[in-house]
Structure 1
Amino acid sequence: MANLKELRNRIVSIGSTMQITSAMKMVSAAKLKKAQDGITQMRPYANKLKDILSNVSATLEASENVYAEEREVKNVLLILVNSNRGLCGAFNSSIVKKAKTIISEYEGQNVNIHIKAVGKKAYDAFRKTPMIHSENNAIWGDLHFEGAAEIAEEAMEGFLNGTWDRVEIVYNHFRNAAIQIATREQFLPVVPTVSEEGAAGGDYIYEPSKEEILSDLIPTSLKIQVFKALLDSNASEHGARMTAMHKATDNANDLKNQLTLDYNKARQAAITNEILEIVGGAEALNG
């Protein structure tokens, strides 16, 4: 058993750690409310707009929607959405694991993979590989639509000029504070929605003109899909960190209680030994 000084130092150290984890939990809980409201409000709009885009794409000729062009897949861009910081459980590792599974799948098809890392942890996981194409860590300092639009525009431009034949987004889908699901979505080319009968999934009346609306609707819808993925990941990160710090605080508290019990036992044993030594000394003197 450790001596009293070592136990006392460990108890103080764990107490300091508990203060840090508890504070991080409260900070993440405060940020989670705002992040959760953001994705809750955005998700229905983004999903509906995505459905409209898919339905419209099914009614267009290939020349009318360049973002739906199907071609032989030789180069794929993976947009990995991760965080800049750790201490959030399996939040970051789940995306890296998902990405490695996708990479293995494509490598079996002789496809070249390029990675756009949105978040320092995603970049760190693949920075020693030739797959890293670019990174964007600054977006998490001030998450807004303009930042998401820049990421989408880069992917759209690369798809149009033939740099990439397919673009996919990998991010954590926010279900609640305790559950985040690593999700893979095809960003480009746009996948048309087809009904069970094989026909397009919707009819639309265009005003003022079909060309004018589609030239604005399609790029805007794609940018919103990226923004939704970023909002999803942001809420997932705060939820994962809050949960991880809550568990860490509970574990530290349990360990502190156990060490306190050990300390009290050791202290009581030391006091008992001192009493025995005093009594033994007194008996020796009397003798």
Structure 2
Amino acid sequence: MASLRDIKTRITSTKKTKQITKAMEMVSAAKLNRAEQNAKTFTVYMDKIQEVVASVALGSKDATHPMLESRPVKKTGYLVITSDRGLAGAYNSNVLRNVYNTINERHKSKDEYTIIVFGKVGLKFFEKRGMPVVDSITGVSDQPEFADIKEIAAKAVGMFSDGTFDELYMYYNHYVSAIQQTLTEKKVLPLTDLAANQSSLSSYEYEPSEEAILEVLLPQYAESLIYGALLDGKASEHGARMSAMKSATDNADELIRSLTLSYNRARQAAITQEITEIVGGAAALE
């Protein structure tokens, strides 16, 4: 049985750990509020730009663009959004496990796919397994701006345009609530499902032409899809970390209660033993 000193040391250590996890929970809660607002605000923009792109692309039979057309798939690109830090529950492991299993099921050779990674956790995961990472970005802020990821987003879109890969899938955690995040797989390129969520198309007048507008608008739209997923992922990350730290704090409370009970029992046993020895010694002197 542990000594009173050992139990007291564990209680003190657990209380300090609880203070840390409680502070991290509060920090994540504060970050979550802003990240959630950013994601919801950007959704309004994405709905409108999707409606405009769909109207331009589908409203005219003469308008064509390579990003709208499927082609034989020789190589697949995977864009994976993870975090730079851990302590976020299953936030990273769910995405990475799903991507890893998907790649192993779909491809027999490393020449058939390439990976673009957001976050240190994902980068280390793929590098450790010797998987081909063509580009990565780390150190993205908790409240990212589009300028922070414009270069890598434009590069991903450009790699599709120049034929480096023939389709691009994106994996991230979609934010549902502070306690629920849904693993999401989205096909970014080619843009073959523009009409999926459009009940009706608006009519626009184009200047100079549909092709010229699509040449500028489609890359921007694809880059916006990536940025929107990052905002969604950041909200999910803060929610997952807040939930994980809350669970850790609750577990610390339970452990402190258990250790305090053990400490009191051990102290009571020690006192009882001392009283017994005193009574026994007094009886021996009579």
Deviation at 1:62, TM superposition (A): 8.7
Q: Residue 78 of structure 1 contacts residue 170 of structure 1 at CA under 8 Å; is this kept in 2? A: yes
Deviation at 1:3, TM superposition (A): 1.5
Q: Structure 1: how far apart are the matches of 2:94 and 2:62?
A: 36
1:105 matched to 2:91? no
Deviation at 1:206, TM superposition (A): 2.7
Q: Which residue of 1 aligns with 2:18?
A: 18
Equivalent residue runs for 1:80-159 within 5 Å: 80-107=80-107, 112-128=112-128, 129-140=130-141, 143-159=144-160
Tell me, what secondary structure is at the counterpart of 2:141? helix
CA RMSD of aligned residues (A): 2.2
Q: Structure 2: how far apart are the matches of 1:59 and 1:25?
A: 49
Q: Structure 1: how far apart are the matches of 2:175 and 2:13?
A: 34
Deviation at 1:51, TM superposition (A): 4.0
Taking a change above 3 Å as real, the CA distance of residues 110 and 127 of structure 1, as seen in their structure-2 partners, is: closer
Counterpart code for 1:90:
A
Q: Which residue of 1 aligns with 2:182?
A: 181
Q: Structure 1: how far apart are the matches of 2:151 and 2:157?
A: 10
Taking a change above 3 Å as real, the CA distance of residues 127 and 60 of structure 1, as seen in their structure-2 partners, is: farther
CA offsets 1:218-276 (integer angstroms, 9 cap, x no match): 12211211110010000000010001111110111011101100100000000110111
Q: Residue 76 of structure 2 contacts residue 114 of structure 2 at CA under 8 Å; is this kept in 1? A: yes
Q: Residue 57 of structure 2 contacts residue 214 of structure 2 at CA under 8 Å; is this kept in 1? A: no
Deviation at 1:45, TM superposition (A): 1.9
Q: Which residue of 1 aligns with 2:40?
A: 40
Q: Residue 142 of structure 2 contacts residue 234 of structure 2 at CA under 8 Å; is this kept in 1? A: no
Q: Residue 50 of structure 1 contacts residue 225 of structure 1 at CA under 8 Å; is this kept in 2? A: no
Q: Residue 96 of structure 1 contacts residue 122 of structure 1 at CA under 8 Å; is this kept in 2? A: yes
Taking a change above 3 Å as real, the CA distance of residues 18 and 63 of structure 1, as seen in their structure-2 partners, is: same
- Of 248-257 and 217-226, deviating more is 217-226
Q: Structure 1: how far apart are the matches of 2:161 and 2:173?
A: 27
Equivalent residue runs for 1:194-213 within 5 Å: 202=201, 204-210=203-209, 211-213=211-213
Q: Structure 1: how far apart are the matches of 2:46 and 2:284?
A: 88
In the superposition, the TM-score normalised over structure 2's length comes to: 0.91
Q: Structure 1: how far apart are the matches of 2:66 and 2:271?
A: 83
Tell me, what secondary structure is at the counterpart of 2:191? coil
In the superposition, the TM-score normalised over structure 1's length comes to: 0.91
Tell me, what secondary structure is at the counterpart of 2:87? coil
Deviation at 1:194, TM superposition (A): 5.0
Tell me, what secondary structure is at the counterpart of 1:207? coil
Q: Residue 173 of structure 1 contacts residue 182 of structure 1 at CA under 8 Å; is this kept in 2? A: yes
Q: Structure 1: how far apart are the matches of 2:194 and 2:237?
A: 31
Q: Structure 2: how far apart are the matches of 1:20 and 1:62?
A: 61
Q: Residue 148 of structure 1 contacts residue 230 of structure 1 at CA under 8 Å; is this kept in 2? A: no
Tell me, what secondary structure is at the counterpart of 2:171? strand
CA offsets 1:93-126 (integer angstroms, 9 cap, x no match): 1110221232133216997121111001111111
Equivalent residue runs for 1:168-247 within 5 Å: 168-193=169-194, 202=201, 204-210=203-209, 211-247=211-247
Unpaired runs of 5+ residues, structure 2, are none
Taking a change above 3 Å as real, the CA distance of residues 119 and 284 of structure 1, as seen in their structure-2 partners, is: same
Unpaired runs of 5+ residues, structure 1, are none
